[in-house]
Amino acid sequence: EIVLTQSPGTLSLSPGEGATLSCRASQNVSSRFLAWYQQNPGQAPRLLIYGASSRAAGIPDRFSGDGSGTAFTLTISRLEPEDFAVYYCQQYGRSRTFGQGTKVEIK
């Protein structure tokens, strides 16, 4: 099983600041089969990024993804109030596993 480790566990930032979230895999994630999801409290997750760097439909361009192999990042260029949420990475190259999540909270 591919284990995904996200860091940091919690990120405390102010609106307008940038955020960089990390996702590291225990094994190579083939063909960049990595996605990112956003989950607000009490809501279902929402797809942000697939294929490591492709934005899903309707996702603002302040969200960007990058990486390959075992190291991936999600960058939010300027935090809007609705961006304070929990973010999960997920690999789908070999079965499907999620990271434990990074919470982006208001400082």
Partner 1 sequence: EVQLLESGGNLVQPGGSLRLSCAASGFTFSSYAMSWVRQAPGKGLEWASSISGSGSSPYYADSVKGRFTISRDNSKNTLYLQMNSLRAEDTAVYYCAKDAGFAALRSYFHLWGQGILVTVSS
Give the interface with partner 1 as residue ranges (CB under 8 A): 31, 33, 35, 37, 39, 43-47, 50, 56, 88, 90, 92-93, 95-101
Contacts of 58 (CB under 8 A, 6+ apart): none
Nearest to 83 by CA among 102, 56, 55: 102
15 versus 26: smaller Cβ distance to partner 1: 26
Q: How far is the CB of 99 from partner 1 (least distance, A)?
A: 7
67 versus 99: smaller Cβ distance to partner 1: 99
The pair phi, psi for residue 13, each rounded to 5°, is -140, 165
- Helix/strand number for the chain, H first, E second: 0, 10
84 versus 87: smaller Cβ distance to partner 1: 87
